[in-house]
Amino acid sequence: MATMRPSERAQLAMALEVCAGPKPGNVDRCHDYEDTRLEHFLASAIFVKPALERAERGEGGVGELIRDAVKLANVHAGGNTHFGAYILLFPLILGGDIAGAADIIRKTTVEDAVLFYEAFGLTQVRAHPTDDLDVNDPESVATIRREGMTLADIIAYSAPRDLVCREWTEGYPRTRRAADMLRAAPAAKGAIPAAFIELLAAEPDTFIAKKLGDAMAEETTRKAQEVRDGTLGIEEFDEWCHEQGANPGSTADIIIAAIYVALGEGWNWES
């Protein structure tokens, strides 16, 4: 079996994540949302390739790569599919592994922050209502420049309310944990949904919190704990999530990063 290039590994991680199921509340093999379907996630994984290849060659800063990735994925009208995944993947590709990613993050610049804001403005990602830095407000970029905020500063600012951002500030602990779970699983089949449930049971998903409020995010996590403990069926949980519109998108982003890391450490996705 040939070795995968990092860009291919990232694409495969996105494909494996979206196909794995049941993955309660999210798009998977058996579930689409009205405006965002399985095919949109796969199209995004296909079209983002040039940005992944630039990262693989060490070209471009994190902010620029995320901006380019969002532009490339805008080839479809399925809305934001992988924004959080890009935030996690580009430092990993540029840095080589989790330790290297931390280094890349430490070295981000004000220019990275400005380009990231441009990317953010191209998505329909929800900002928290209390955010002072509104992406639709040109004043935000002026504030970033005036205060000399790097992309790491911006992300740290959002970290209390965003799991993906917390991976940046804390050195990818959830990614590490899920990657270890994948590698320890007896078979690849079922390993991704199991890691997904574990992460969701450990912490409320901040994508749900922003969309539906903290109480719903906490209830989703309680139910994930019941699934983990065997007192609730995963299919029943899935149905409940879809009824509520509770899609744990941040957790899915971290799972993509975890698959990417696990594949790089020799995890056999076909087992």
Which is nearest to 238 in space by CA: 198, 197, 210?
197
Dihedral sign for Cα 149, 159, 215, 125, please: positive
Shortest approach of its own copies to residue 74 CB, angstroms?
Answer: 7
Which is nearest to 52 in space by CA: 15, 12, 89?
89
Virtual CA dihedral for 168, 156, 116, 80, nearest 10 degrees?
70
75/99 with CB nearer its own copies: 75
Shortest approach of its own copies to residue 44 CB, angstroms?
Answer: 11
Q: What are phi and psi of 31, to 5 degrees?
A: -135, 130
Q: Can residue 187 be called a binding residue for its own copies (CB under 8 A)?
A: no
4/156 with CB nearer its own copies: 4
Q: Which of residues 19-78 bind its own copies (CB under 8 A)?
A: 19, 29-30, 38-40, 42-43, 45-47, 49, 71-72, 74-78
What distances in angstroms separate CA 257 from CA 168, 216, 228, one per listed residue? 12, 25, 22
Q: Write the burial class of residue 35 (CB in 10 Å: 0-12 exposed, 13-18 middle, 19+ buried).
A: exposed
72/185 with CB nearer its own copies: 72
Shortest approach of its own copies to residue 71 CB, angstroms?
Answer: 8
12/141 with CB nearer its own copies: 12
143/268 with CB nearer its own copies: 268
Cα–Cα distance, 48 to 35 (Å, whole number): 20
From 10-18, 136-144, 170-178, 253-261, give the range in contact with its own copies by CB under 8 A: 10-18
Q: Which of residues 121-180 bind its own copies (CB under 8 A)?
A: none
Shortest approach of its own copies to residue 12 CB, angstroms?
Answer: 6
What distances in angstroms separate CA 175 from CA 98, 218, 265, one per listed residue? 9, 21, 13
68/162 with CB nearer its own copies: 68
Residue 149: CB atoms within 10 A of its CB come to 19
Half-sphere exposure of 214 (CA within 13 A, CB side): 5
From 1-9, 217-225, 228-236, 238-246, give the range in contact with its own copies by CB under 8 A: 1-9
Which is nearest to 111 in space by CA: 166, 71, 68, 148?
148
Q: Can residue 1 be called a binding residue for its own copies (CB under 8 A)?
A: yes
45/115 with CB nearer its own copies: 45
Cα–Cα distance, 10 to 86 (Å, whole number): 9
Q: Can residue 15 be called a binding residue for its own copies (CB under 8 A)?
A: yes
Could you list the residues that contact its own copies (CB under 8 A)?
1-2, 4, 8, 11-12, 15-16, 19, 29-30, 38-40, 42-43, 45-47, 49, 71-72, 74-78, 269-270
